[in-house]
Structure 1
Amino acid sequence: MRIFAKAILLASMIAATGQSAQAQSTIIAEPVDWSAQFAGLDGVAITCIRTIERNYAERACQQLMDHAASALKKSGIPHVVAGSYYSRDPAPEPTSLLANPLNLTIHVRATDPNPLGIDIRMNASVSYTAAVEKHGNTAPRRGELLMWQHGTTGAGAAQKLEPAIIQASKKRMDVLLGHIDEGWQR
């Protein structure tokens, strides 16, 4: 029965990925003025959230956070690696080093091995505390404004899947890092 539960979980992860990729390609079709999107931000805060306490999930988090930090350092963009944490643990306190950061959040979801399934989602967002709809009469709201999102899902033998999905995720992250480098106000 446990094998069937894993198969259903993997199938739903892959199905969800296909739908979001189709929706995303439609949304990204229009050009984006990244310098306008990043105006007023003072750096990038990098965080990774794991839904499983396994070494391969921690390695994926560490390698992706290091990749982002290295590219941002090379571009001269202020950044802070806020760290990686297990989703059931309390989230780390927001960094006080950046007053208004772009939040680069990496989510690593995975199954137990045999077979291994990994889903890595990355998003860039900006936190807001008092958004008000133009001409609206509702109270200010707090939340996250999602600016970019991408994901990679795979299943297979752990020895092959882990390096392959990390490399594929780095390539997808490079798209965002390119937008940041291109549009950042220095």
Structure 2
Amino acid sequence: MVVTSVDASGPVVVVQARTRSRNPASCTGCGMASEWVHSRYVRQLADATVGGRPVRIELGVRRLYCENPTCAKVTFAEQVPGLTVRYQRRTPLLQQLVEAVGVVLAGRGGARMLSILNIALSRSTVLSQLMRVPFPPLTVTACPPRSPRLRPPGPSPPKQGKPMPGRLRVRLAGTRGGCSKPCTH
């Protein structure tokens, strides 16, 4: 990628850039490299703010033909790793910021926080980006059975309530049944 100009005179910092035309690009369908140019177009990307000012990247990219005859894609747009993602109008950095704020503050609060950061997004957009965030993987671990403990002679400690029929005993995540030590398994 080659940056051709930066205009910081207005309220928005505009970075104009283009991709290098000599480098082949990989097809998004089959992964085969291609240099056969179909056309060019300018892609506008929003990026994280710089000095409290919004940033817009105007990136000139190529649309190429896939040279693999068995590939379902006829043409594809080249991607710049770390800067562009297919069908996205935000850079990965800005997208991660929007998702993080959406997870913590959700709709209206997230939109307010982003407006403080000079990122103009509606609460609906923040919520839709939140819905795209995958859930963390669920890991279920079983604690080993407790070994019988020897009790010193003397009065017995108060008994814990026995579970009643038709009810479940719930224990806090990360602890063993009656033990106060955290479960490390």
TM-score for both structures, normalised by structure 2: 0.23
Which structure has more relative contact order (CA 8 Å, sep 6+)? It is 1
Query: Comparing both structures, which one devotes a greater share of its residues to strand?
Result: 1
TM-score for both structures, normalised by structure 1: 0.23
